[in-house]
């Protein structure tokens, strides 16, 4: 990795790769080039530690007078969603490279989780192809994957071998596919009908609470949840569900780690194919794998 001179010194209060000029956040050319090279190296197979050592050897400064890179700094750059672009920060990394980096990072995460933790992570049921519920088990003495999912149907006895980190990483990859390309939600969409009176009433109530000079957070949250539940109750077609899903994923930015909240909104259940790969069954019935 070649040394990159940085003519514009930046205050590290703002993210590496940017500087402020006339109150506007702009891309710092040399630092943004370093960020892109970090992604190239990581996608090419280098570890956080190796990348950090390369940067130190090239005397690349993280901030003025400091080139003491470590794997934590490299990791934070690879996880920082601001590089995808926000209303404040211009884009440095495209969504495709970001998603690929997160998939690699998650696949390397071997931190053990117990059954209760994983069960809390998954907000929807895990279902066998036979239709019965699957439960997660941990078998520390097994030579193969110690984490497995077994079908509760005694006549089926299906077993899925997949460790927790791989499962959560694969689900995150599927969610990121939808975030990057909401058009993958292909169920025929129909324009939503005029909302019922109760929905309009609750919309007005939410608007009133949010426009109040002193917002009561608990009351506003309760009203928003009630409105969401009422809207969902009046959904009458697969097409409308598809429209809502697309709109939600268009608002999302790619995930750097597994998000139970996004999965809860999108997925009705989780299944596995014949190769033990997870399949997301969306709220509109569509299978994503």
Confidence of residue 190 (pLDDT cuts 50, 70, 90): very low
Taking a C-beta distance cutoff of 8 angstroms, is the pair 51, 70 a contact? no
Q: What is the pLDDT of residue 52?
A: 93
Length of the chain equals: 289
Closest CA to 128 of 266, 288, 283, 274: 274
Taking a C-beta distance cutoff of 8 angstroms, is the pair 70, 62 a contact? no
Confidence of residue 116 (pLDDT cuts 50, 70, 90): very low
User: Residue 8 pLDDT > 50, yes or no?
Assistant: no
Closest CA to 252 of 201, 188, 185, 194: 185
Domain extent listing, the chain: 18-93, 115-186+248-288, 197-235
Distance CA 138, CA 111 (A): 14
| Average pLDDT of the chain, as a whole number | 80
Check: pTM over 0.75? Answer yes or no: no
Is residue 19 within a helix (H) or strand (E), and if so which, with residue range?
A: strand 18-21
Closest CA to 288 of 164, 106, 124: 124
Q: What is the pLDDT of residue 128?
A: 92
Distance CA 223, CA 211 (A): 13
Helices 95-107 and 29-43: angle between axes, nearest 10 degrees: 50
Backbone angles phi, psi at 161, to 5 degrees: -100, 105
pLDDT tens-place string over residues 229-288 = 777 666 546 677 888 888 888 888 888 778 888 888 888 899 999 888 999 999 888 899
Q: What angle do CA 252, 253, 257 make, to 5 degrees?
A: 105
Confidence of residue 58 (pLDDT cuts 50, 70, 90): very high
Taking a C-beta distance cutoff of 8 angstroms, is the pair 144, 161 a contact? yes
Confidence of residue 120 (pLDDT cuts 50, 70, 90): low
Q: What is the pLDDT of residue 119?
A: 56
Residue with tokens 């970001």: 98
Of 15-19, 31-35, 53-57, 120-124, the one with minimum mean pLDDT is 120-124
Q: Considering the chain, what percentage of its residues have pLDDT values greater than 70?
A: 81
Distance CA 68, CA 183 (A): 43
């Amino acid at each position: 990795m070649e040394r990159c001179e940085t003519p514009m010194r930046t205050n590290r209060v703002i993210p590496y790769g940017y500087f402020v000029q006339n109150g506007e956040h702009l891309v710092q050319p040399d630092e943004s080039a370093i960020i892109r090279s970090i992604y190239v190296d990581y996608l090419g197979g280098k570890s956080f530690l190796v990348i950090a050592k390369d940067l130190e050897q090239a005397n690349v400064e993280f901030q003025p007078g400091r080139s003491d890179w470590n794997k934590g700094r490299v990791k934070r750059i690879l996880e920082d969603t601001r590089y995808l672009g926000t209303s404040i920060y211009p884009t440095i990394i495209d969504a495709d490279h970001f998603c690929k980096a997160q998939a690699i990072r998650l696949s390397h995460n071997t931190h053990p989780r117990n059954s209760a933790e994983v069960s809390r992570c998954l907000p929807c049921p895990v279902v066998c192809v036979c239709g019965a519920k699957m439960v997660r088990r941990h078998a520390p003495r097994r030579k193969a994957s110690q984490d497995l999912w077994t079908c509760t149907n005694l006549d089926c006895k299906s077993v899925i071998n997949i460790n927790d980190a791989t499962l959560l990483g694969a689900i995150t990859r599927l969610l990121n596919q939808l975030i990057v390309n909401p058009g993958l939600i292909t169920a025929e969409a129909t324009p939503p009908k005029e909302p019922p009176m109760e929905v309009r009433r609750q919309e007005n109530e939410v608007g009133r609470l949010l426009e109040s000079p002193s917002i009561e957070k608990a009351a506003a949250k309760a009203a928003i949840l009630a409105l969401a539940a009422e809207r969902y109750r009046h959904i009458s077609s697969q097409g409308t569900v598809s429209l809502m899903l697309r709109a939600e994923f268009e608002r999302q930015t790619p995930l750097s780690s597994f998000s139970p909240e996004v999965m809860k909104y999108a997925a009705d259940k989780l299944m596995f194919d014949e190769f033990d790969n997870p399949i997301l069954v969306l709220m509109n019935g569509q299978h994503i794998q």
